[in-house]
Homo-oligomer: A and B are copies of this chain.
Amino acid sequence: MTFSPNYVNSYAHFGIHETMLKDSVRTHTFRTAILDNPHLFRDKVVLDVGCGTGILSCFAARAGAARVYAVDCSHIVDQTRLIVRKNGLQDVITVIESRVEHLQLPEAVDIIVSEWMGYFLLDEFMLPSVLHARDNWLKPGGLMFPNKASVWLCGCDDAELRAEKLDFWHDVCGVDMSCMKSFSISEPAIEIVPDNHVTTTIHNVLSLDLQTCTTADLRFISPFQLRALRPNKLQAVLGYFCVSFTHGREPLQLNTGPMCDPTHWKQTIFFLDDTIPMDNNELLTGVIAVQQNKNNERDLDIALEYKFNGNMAIRCNLLRYRLR
């Protein structure tokens, strides 16, 4: 009996692709954005940045693109080539294994399609690679799919989630591990929050025009204020993102907020140190700061500071987070 030599690399990627492709909100939104707009894709040259299994390239080819360059730096491209051939699109789609920063194309492109979003929009920091591709390969007047992105915050009172993630540590099979709570507060949870737990207004803390924004825009400090929509016990600030496709006949949005169908990005939950009882119309104000981690370029540093000035005394807290 023999053993196979090298599945480890493939496996890591494989699991990710399965998760992403099974996120039907994600896949169907990109499909609609591309296939419903053949007038934009017909006879055009398209670049798919971080193509993975090549599904967006297949959509672009079926929407009438003349040529599609599908680029990914992982070994998944061996599978992508098989998929392209299996679907009879090998005359349209060229699969290229390359870091996008080292990419060499024979021509500039009319459209860039890319699904680059991570948790809280920016985690994994793939967007700079997409912007690099845009600056180097997109023709003047060329189109980005998606072309807008935004990040939003709101307050939530999911006591059950707080109990599960934080209070849990007080009694673990009879052992007091409450010091572990600080980890659960320091690191945001990635969970789906039902929309009935959203108890405040939502606040936009980042808006990107992907046609023009630069990498510098991904480092930001933004104030926010969340107004209670009803009396509630605020447990956490919740973050999520939207991306939009507005070049097509009908503008289309992929919204990962709690009021929309769940996606594999779920929501990003920043637990407060303590529960805050809020009356209707009371305000939680704060500042969020986000930057790329200096040691690991795929990591995101998030600092969140908030103040509550309602029936309670003024509170001021500094929390520090980093996503995986």
Q: Please report A residues at the B interface, Cβ cutoff 8 Å.
A: 1-4, 7-8, 10-11, 14, 17-18, 21-22, 24, 27-28, 31, 53-55, 58-59, 62, 79, 82-83, 86-87, 168, 172-180, 183-184, 186-187, 221, 287, 289, 291, 293, 296, 299, 301-303, 305, 318, 320-322, 324
A291 near B3 (CB under 8 angstroms)? yes
A178: chain B residues at CB < 8 Å are 86
A10: chain B residues at CB < 8 Å are 183
How far does the alpha carbon of A301 sit from the alpha carbon of B11 in the complex, in Å?
Answer: 13
A303: chain B residues at CB < 8 Å are 1-3
Q: What are some 19 contacts across the A-B interface (CB < 8 A)?
A: A1-B221, A1-B303, A2-B318, A3-B289, A3-B301, A3-B302, A4-B301, A7-B322, A8-B296, A8-B299, A11-B183, A21-B172, A22-B168, A53-B180, A54-B175, A79-B180, A83-B175, A83-B180, A86-B178
Min CB distance A111 to B, Å, is: 19
How far does the alpha carbon of A79 sit from the alpha carbon of B14 in the complex, in Å?
Answer: 34
Q: How many copies does the complex hold?
A: 2
With both beta carbons as reference points, the residue of chain B lying nearest to A179 in the complex is identified as B82
A11: chain B residues at CB < 8 Å are 183, 187, 322, 324
A17: chain B residues at CB < 8 Å are 180
How far does the alpha carbon of A296 sit from the alpha carbon of B5 in the complex, in Å?
Answer: 11
B21 near A320 (CB under 8 angstroms)? no
With both beta carbons as reference points, the residue of chain B lying nearest to A4 in the complex is identified as B320
B187 near A14 (CB under 8 angstroms)? yes
With both beta carbons as reference points, the residue of chain B lying nearest to A303 in the complex is identified as B1
A53: chain B residues at CB < 8 Å are 172, 177, 180
Given contacts A2-B320, A168-B22, A291-B3, contact A87 B176 (CB under 8 A): yes
B296 near A55 (CB under 8 angstroms)? no
A27 near B172 (CB under 8 angstroms)? yes
B179 near A28 (CB under 8 angstroms)? no
A321: chain B residues at CB < 8 Å are 4, 7
Min CB distance A79 to B, Å, is: 6
The interface centre, meaning the residue of A59, A179, A303 with most chain B CB atoms within 10 A of its CB, is A179
Given contacts A1-B221, A168-B22, A173-B31, contact A186 B7 (CB under 8 A): yes
A14 touches which one: B83, B180, B293, B305 (CB < 8 A)? Answer: B180
With both beta carbons as reference points, the residue of chain B lying nearest to A304 in the complex is identified as B1
B322 near A4 (CB under 8 angstroms)? yes
The interface centre, meaning the residue of A8, A59, A168 with most chain B CB atoms within 10 A of its CB, is A8
A177 near B83 (CB under 8 angstroms)? yes
Given contacts A7-B186, A305-B1, contact A83 B289 (CB under 8 A): no
Given contacts A221-B1, A320-B2, contact A31 B79 (CB under 8 A): no
A173 touches which one: B55, B175, B299 (CB < 8 A)? Answer: B55
How far does the alpha carbon of A175 sit from the alpha carbon of B21 in the complex, in Å?
Answer: 11
Min CB distance A296 to B, Å, is: 7
How far does the alpha carbon of A168 sit from the alpha carbon of B17 in the complex, in Å?
Answer: 12
A177: chain B residues at CB < 8 Å are 21, 53, 55, 79, 83, 86
